[in-house]
Structure 1
Amino acid sequence: MYDYFNGKLVSKTPTHVILDVGGIGYHIHISLTTFAQIKEQETCKLYISFQVREDSHTLFGFATEGERHLFNHLISVSGIGPNTGRMMLSSSTPEEIQSAIVNGQVALIQKIKGIGPKTAQRVILELQDKLKKQGEDTLLPISISKQSVPEEALSALIMLGFQKNQVEKVLSSIVQTENNLSVEALIKSALKKL
């Protein structure tokens, strides 16, 4: 139904943005990969995946067509819904996910929260041949946030469904051992420990 929206970023967090397109504000869920690419921008173009469920109509936006394409492949697999697909694209880069699928690396896919061994095997079984035939260009530039990195990471992880006290403990332990991490790196590191 929608291919892309091009507009002004009214607000943005690591999990969603409000994009003003012609005076209409769209609430669009995004991955951490997309956030990394748009967080310094005032306007942007997001490629849209419109998901209709019984109880909701939800927009998911991506900075590149390749990331959207991979997201649509992921959610076509039984057991992976849009939020799990977004979690996958927030835990690893699209290139890493695609490489893990194409090379049959079940363990790498299984490390992502919400993905068990059977689902990881199903992802590889259903998508391996499709992704071998296609190439995606979804490079992820990482940059440092100007806001409080731990606070932004905490907010993003809570929005992704994690418990606040659990996230605070994990983030605290990471920040004590590793300094000067970007929001993306901190969230990815926390996702591996949650």
Structure 2
Amino acid sequence: MIGFLRGKLVHKAPPLLVLDVQGVGYEVEAPMTTFYDLPLLGAEVLLHTHLVVREDAHSLFGFASESDRTMFRTLIKINGVGPKLALTILSGQSAEEFHRCIHNNDTQALVRLPGVGKKTAERLVIELRDSLPSLGETTISTAAIAAPVSANPKQEAISALCSLGYKPLDAAKMVQNIADDKSCEDIIRLALQSAVR
């Protein structure tokens, strides 16, 4: 098992990022909550990781905090929730917000996340209400530095939202009213926040 990676951030295109760890490029999928805390390209990053091994692929998932990784591991144990859906859930809400939804039986907020239907939301609440681990303190392992504004941050944001399960038309509507001067990460954050309200 790979517990963490420390290396130079060489590429980020949500939900995928690439870390150069002593000359080896690791492709890591990460929730948007992790992308919000990533530094500029070229900076050193520490990610807490979880490796998923399947017959046809080995997928590495990375998280800025141990609490997000713990939540991811808890989610993938639920029947019907795989790594991709767990990543989508953590992209739409922080671990703390998800924890609150479960303990408040707020299935409505969960259904607003892409890929989470009414039955899945109810299953999450029922199965996790009593067994959800304590979140403790969130440990952010990366420096929160604003990313530079790319040539077309809205288009990158739409692409990232599609990767998280939103339909292209819905993703475009989600970002259309957000100011053009925002970074891709900020646009995604604002779009996801408005989607779950």
Deviation string for 1:42-71 (max 9, x for gaps)?
Answer: 111111111122321100000011100001
The structure whose RCO (Cα within 8 Å, separation 6+) is larger is 2
Deviation string for 1:77-117 (max 9, x for gaps)?
Answer: 11111111010111111110011112222222222111111
**Which residue in 2 is equivalent to 1:74?**
75
**Which residue in 1 is equivalent to 2:178?**
175
**Which residue in 2 is equivalent to 1:147?**
149
Secondary structure at the residue paired with 1:38? coil
Amino acid at match of 1:36: Y
Q: Give aligned-pair identity as a percent.
A: 33
Question: 1:55-94 residue pairs with structure 2 within 5 A?
Answer: 55-94=56-95
Q: Summarize the Cα distance change of 1:99–1:86 in structure 2 as closer, same or farther, 3 Å threshold.
A: same
**Preserved contact between residue 4 and residue 46 of structure 2 (Cα < 8 Å):** yes
| Distance (whole Å) between structure 2 residues aligned to residue 142 and residue 111 of structure 1 | 27
Question: 1:87-166 residue pairs with structure 2 within 5 A?
Answer: 87-131=88-132, 134-138=134-138, 145-148=147-150, 149-166=153-170
Shift of 1:165: 4.2
Structure in which a larger fraction of residues adopt helix: 1
Instruction: List alignment gaps of at least 5 residues for structure 2.
Output: none
Question: 1:8-27 residue pairs with structure 2 within 5 A?
Answer: 8-27=8-27
Amino acid at match of 2:16: H
Secondary structure at the residue paired with 2:56? coil
**Preserved contact between residue 47 and residue 64 of structure 1 (Cα < 8 Å):** yes
| Distance (whole Å) between structure 1 residues aligned to residue 154 and residue 139 of structure 2 | 24
Secondary structure at the residue paired with 2:37? helix
Secondary structure at the residue paired with 1:2? coil
**Which residue in 1 is equivalent to 2:29?**
29
**Preserved contact between residue 142 and residue 184 of structure 1 (Cα < 8 Å):** no
**Preserved contact between residue 178 and residue 187 of structure 2 (Cα < 8 Å):** no
**Which residue in 2 is equivalent to 1:185?**
189
Q: Summarize the Cα distance change of 1:139–1:99 in structure 2 as closer, same or farther, 3 Å threshold.
A: farther
Could you list the runs of 4 or more consecutive aligned residues of structure 1 that deviate by over 4 angstroms after TM superposition?
Answer: 139-145, 178-181, 189-193
RMSD after superposition: 2.6
**Preserved contact between residue 154 and residue 164 of structure 1 (Cα < 8 Å):** yes
Q: Summarize the Cα distance change of 1:30–1:170 in structure 2 as closer, same or farther, 3 Å threshold.
A: same
Secondary structure at the residue paired with 1:58? strand
TM-score (norm 2): 0.84
Pairs aligned (count): 190
Shift of 1:14: 2.7
